[in-house]
């Protein structure tokens, strides 16, 4: 365990036997990360805790001082003197106990507890509706989910209402709460207490069925760009991947943009989120909705940086904040940059990209641009469109392409 993770507790002199390890019951905590929430479930009877964040679930083990930790991922948690805190690296986030779960003997306006909770951790979708802080209509609303929102169905609470059960769910954006199974669908299997399997409503909602996710779990690479909290540029950025980062392509969300689909991906370092298929490649097979198959060698440098190819000569783009641009090609890098600056023609022009690839392309949109390089015109333009779109623009177009 890295010592800095618990430095705050040691300095305060409060490490004692009053921590969470002394608790005999499982407790759930909600931790405020500023731009979202993470959750920690302590399970003393199993000698562990579970951290759930944007990147998925992570097991934590007891540290012997009243807390739990995962040394590899630098995640730790402790509740000392009623002040629970989550540490991600050396940054602390305050936590609080989540709403208590009902016991078997409780009854609610929304129904009666029918039995013990059943852990599921299955994928599904909300068909739209309110998210509550407990399994029943009398619990307060904590949020709402749009139709088609992908969720992880964590547990069946055993609370039945009007023929369906209440489930605890979590979204990819960090929302967590309870939703009634009558307004949910489960992916891949029919789950008792839930309205139906996802994709079965084609007669009622063809677009919903068309967008049903496809589980993949195949290897691929990111060609560089933003990792988002959901399948679209309107979702918050949760990270970024450099070109050549190996990813597990978990599923195709069915959300299409500019000719390619959005995919949920995970990296070997525990990052998890959504990336656009136009800036990805798949290993070993061509996957519909992804730009291309990965080559035998992983890319070595970002698209918007220097790249090498078989052409031998150099090309360069110069850009200015007012939208002016210039492109140059020459046997040397300095010569190509000089031509690009001359054609750009303004004091604010700066060299944005140089390459020795065969083709060079520029995509533009109001407030955004993207530069791509590749061994074919299609490849260069695909990279350019991908960078432009991943910067948040929705109406990118190819402005200029040159192949040497």
DSSP codes joined into one string, 80-132: ETTEEEEEETTEEEEEEEPPPPPPTT-EETTEEE-S--EEEEEEEEE-SEEEE
In the chain, where are the structural domains located?
3-97, 107-208, 214-293, 314-403
- What is the fold, at CATH topology level, of the domain defined by 214-293? SH3 type barrels. (2.30.30)
What does the pLDDT read at residue 179? 92
Class of domain 107-208: mainly beta
Written as one string, the DSSP assignment of 301-360 is S-TTS-B--SS-SEEEEEE-TTS-EEEEEESSHHHHHHHHHHHH-STT-EEEEEE-SSEE
Q: Which residue has the higher pLDDT, 257 or 151?
A: 151
Q: How confident is the model at residue 110 (pLDDT cuts 50, 70, 90)?
A: very low
pLDDT tens readout for residues 362-381: 988 887 888 888 777 877 88
Written as six digits, the tokens of 384 are 């350019």
What does the pLDDT read at residue 108? 36
Which pTM does this prediction carry?
0.33
**Same topology for domains 107-208 and 214-293, yes or no?**
yes
Q: Is 291 within 8 Å of 299 (Cβ atoms)? A: no
Q: How confident is the model at residue 41 (pLDDT cuts 50, 70, 90)?
A: confident
Closest of 72, 95, 404 to residue 268, by C-alpha: 72
Entry field: residues in the chain = 404
> 3-state DSSP call for residue 42?
strand
Taking the C-alpha atoms of residue 325 and residue 376, their distance in angstroms, rounded to an integer, is 22
> 3-state DSSP call for residue 29?
strand
| pLDDT, average across residues 56-76 | 84
Taking the C-alpha atoms of residue 334 and residue 318, their distance in angstroms, rounded to an integer, is 13
Taking the C-alpha atoms of residue 243 and residue 162, their distance in angstroms, rounded to an integer, is 51
What does the pLDDT read at residue 77? 92
Q: Which residue has the higher pLDDT, 9 or 143?
A: 143
Residue 384: pLDDT over 60: yes
Q: Which residues of 366-379 are buried (b: 16+ CB within 10 A; e: fewer)?
A: eebbbbbbbbebeb
Task: Give the pairing type, strands 196-197 and 184-186.
Answer: parallel
pLDDT tens readout for residues 197-221: 876 543 333 333 334 456 788 899 9
pLDDT tens readout for residues 344-353: 888 899 998 8
Average pLDDT, the chain: 75
Residue 147: pLDDT over 80: no
For residue 162, CA distances in Å to 99, 135, 306 come to: 24, 13, 62
What does the pLDDT read at residue 54? 62
| pLDDT, average across residues 278-294 | 86
What does the pLDDT read at residue 56? 62
Phi, psi of 86 (to 5 degrees): -105, 130
Residue 340: pLDDT over 70: yes
Q: Is 380 within 8 Å of 357 (Cβ atoms)? A: yes
Residue 46: pLDDT over 50: yes
Q: How confident is the model at residue 289 (pLDDT cuts 50, 70, 90)?
A: confident
Residue 240: pLDDT over 90: no
Taking the C-alpha atoms of residue 288 and residue 59, their distance in angstroms, rounded to an integer, is 34
């Amino acid at each position: 365990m890295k010592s800095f993770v618990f430095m705050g507790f040691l300095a305060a002199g409060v490490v004692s036997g009053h921590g969470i390890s002394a608790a005999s019951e499982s407790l759930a905590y909600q931790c405020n990360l500023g731009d979202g929430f993470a959750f920690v479930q302590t399970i003393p009877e199993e000698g562990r805790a579970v951290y759930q964040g944007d990147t998925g679930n992570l097991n934590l083990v007891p540290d012997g001082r009243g807390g739990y930790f995962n040394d590899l991922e630098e995640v730790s948690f402790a509740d000392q003197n009623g002040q629970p805190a989550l540490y991600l690296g050396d940054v602390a986030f305050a936590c609080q106990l989540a709403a208590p779960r009902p016991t078997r003997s409780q009854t609610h306006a929304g129904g009666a507890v029918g039995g013990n909770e059943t852990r599921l951790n299955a994928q599904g979708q909300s068909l739209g509706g309110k998210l509550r802080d407990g399994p029943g209509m009398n619990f307060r609303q904590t949020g709402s989910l749009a139709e088609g929102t992908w969720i992880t169905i964590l547990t069946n609470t055993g609370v039945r209402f009007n023929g369906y059960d209440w489930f605890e769910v979590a979204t990819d954006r960090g929302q967590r709460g309870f939703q009634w199974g009558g307004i949910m669908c489960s992916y891949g299997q029919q789950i008792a207490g839930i309205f139906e399997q996802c994709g079965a409503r084609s007669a009622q909602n063809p677009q919903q069925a068309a967008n049903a996710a496809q589980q993949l779990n195949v290897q691929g690479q990111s060609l560089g760009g933003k990792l988002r909290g959901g399948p679209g540029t309107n979702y918050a950025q949760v990270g970024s991947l450099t070109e050549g980062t190996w990813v597990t392509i978990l599923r195709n969300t069915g959300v299409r943009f500019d000719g390619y689909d959005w995919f949920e991906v995970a990296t070997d370092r525990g990052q998890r989120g959504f990336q656009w298929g136009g800036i990805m490649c798949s290993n070993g097979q061509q996957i519909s909705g992804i730009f291309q198959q990965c080559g035998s060698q992983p890319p070595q440098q970002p698209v918007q940086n220097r790249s090498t190819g078989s052409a031998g000569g150099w090309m360069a783009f110069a850009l200015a904040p007012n939208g002016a641009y210039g492109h140059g090609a020459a046997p040397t890098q300095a010569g190509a940059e000089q031509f690009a600056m001359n054609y750009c023609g303004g004091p604010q022009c700066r060299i944005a990209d140089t390459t020795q690839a065969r083709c060079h392309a520029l995509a533009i949109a109001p407030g955004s641009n993207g530069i791509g390089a590749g061994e074919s015109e299609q490849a260069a333009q695909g990279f350019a469109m991908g960078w432009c779109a991943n910067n948040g623009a929705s109406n990118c177009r190819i402005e200029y392409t040159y192949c040497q």
